[in-house]
Chain A
């Protein structure tokens, strides 16, 4: 059974950093892309970025809104993907989801999602 479980959320002060983890099971992490998507309170979904499959060199891509501040990585030996968030702002407050791309060819089609982890940026 495919599962993704996010962790690492919590309360953090503006300007600080936080690393979220996405523990995966039921599939080989390097064979699928993993995207991070967030949802601010009462708002819609915002795609943040992804890490591509091994076939695509494991490269990363980011939305303009977070490029340069957020970075995505993975540890295939642990089946965990990470979202490193730096220089956090109050507007980064949101539920953060990780989601799996459905195949190596269709990395943006998100077929399985975690339940999310809440990040609150506040002083």
Chain B
């Protein structure tokens, strides 16, 4: 199975400051024939289901604010919130959908306001 790790476990950032979350996969999730990274980021607010924020490592879903961006390739990925807003307080999960049928999530990173 592909094991996903995230760092840090939690972070507290001042409003308007940058938040950076790392995700690492135990194997590459880059599919060479189409040059796509099968890596997504989800946001989960308390009492709500996860929401898909970013697919293919860097493609923002429709309606997701531009302050959210994803980067990375192969085994190392980053989610960046460029200017943290109060409504961004949530847990963020990375997720690999490369290894059909054994998809896996990272353990999550909790983002709070400092």
Q: Which residues of A contact B (CB under 8 A)?
A: 35, 37, 44-47, 49-50, 52, 60-64, 97, 99, 102, 106-111, 113-116
Contact = CB atoms under 8 A, between A and B. Distances in A.
A52 B35 CA distance: 23
Interface in B79-108: 91, 93, 95-98, 100-108
Contact of B49 (A50, A63, A108, A115): A115
A63 B2 CA distance: 12
Contacts of B108: 44-45
B66 interface: no
B52 A61 contact: no
A64 B50 CA distance: 23
Question: Is chain B's interface secondary structure helix, strand, loop, or mixed overall?
Answer: loop
Q: Which 8 A-B pairs have the closest CB atoms?
A: A61-B101, A108-B97, A113-B49, A108-B103, A45-B105, A44-B108, A47-B103, A44-B107
A108 B51 contact: no
Nearest to B91: A44
B50 A108 contact: no
Contacts of B96: 108
A24 B38 CA distance: 25
